[in-house]
Structure 1
């Protein structure tokens, strides 16, 4: 079997506005399930609005790579370690490592994510609102009421005391 060649143009893939507390948006660029890639993965970018954050979470069955493209912020890892998130920084999260990302107050934080195996793209599509080129940023909107169910059906495990 020949592995396919896939080229995604700028602005290609699907984009989704994200609810609070991250706000901002996600661009889902590639997912091996969409083209028959041999190694299961999904990758894209996420822009977290200034002063906003990605909630503390854990992926029990997935490994994740985060590469900071623009902006700055802080990563909280395993509930105790803080590390700066600045352009060029790269993080590898093995299965079961909790993490939270906070954008600095002075501007958005944009990073590339790579999830192995995939599934994060499904989560983003289910909690977000589709974003189209030229859209204006929407007012902050809440997460779906069934977000915990969506998390459990995709790539997340619940954290005690976190909702």
Structure 2
């Protein structure tokens, strides 16, 4: 197998009402890969609500921002840059951005593949093609 550097601009971006996900490594796009590895950006005040991954464990690493993490339907706890969250297979969890700036996370699914396909089935999913930049419309409230 040829080893290669992965150019993020060659990967599509998943967009949702709550933020974006860009998968850098996936079984479908990276020869030999059995896990998925990508960056998640949660918009201020938004989150990825309670859900679970029946077939995969998940590891989250907080790159920047601040938020709250819920695990196993227990009280949410604060998360900040440098924190690592392990989510066992099947455990319900959710992440909320409580800050004014984006909450950036690295996400890893093991095994990869099924969970990203489930994200693509959500009602608010839209894909931004490789090489394009997602755009956001400011909500002025009301």
How far did 1:120 drift? 2.4
- Give, in whole Å, the separation in 2 of the partners of 1:88 and 1:32: 27
> Quick check: 1:8–1:29 contact (8 Å CA) kept in 2?
yes
Higher strand fraction (1 or 2) = 2
- Give, in whole Å, the separation in 2 of the partners of 1:49 and 1:85: 15
- Residue 87 and residue 98 in structure 1: after superposition, are their counterparts in 2 closer, same or farther (change >3 A)? same
> Quick check: 1:41–1:117 contact (8 Å CA) kept in 2?
yes
String of CA shifts for 1:125-152, please: whole Å, max 9, x gaps.
3432122534421478xxxxxxxxxxxx
How far did 1:123 drift? 2.7
Specify every segment of 5 or more residues in structure 2 that has no aligned partner in the other structure, as ranges: none
Higher helix fraction (1 or 2) = 1
- Residue 9 and residue 34 in structure 1: after superposition, are their counterparts in 2 closer, same or farther (change >3 A)? closer
Correspondence for 2:93 among 91, 99, 102: 99
- Residue 97 and residue 130 in structure 1: after superposition, are their counterparts in 2 closer, same or farther (change >3 A)? same
Taking only aligned residues, the RMSD between alpha carbons, in angstroms, comes to 2.1
Where do residues 100-115 of structure 1 align in structure 2 (5 Å cutoff)?
100-115=94-109
Specify every segment of 5 or more residues in structure 1 that has no aligned partner in the other structure, as ranges: 141-163
Match for residue 136 of structure 2?
A: 137
- Residue 54 and residue 81 in structure 1: after superposition, are their counterparts in 2 closer, same or farther (change >3 A)? same
Instruction: Provide TM-score, normalisation by structure 1.
Output: 0.72
User: Which stretch shifts more, 6-15 or 111-120?
Assistant: 6-15
Instruction: Provide TM-score, normalisation by structure 2.
Output: 0.82
How far did 1:25 drift? 1.0
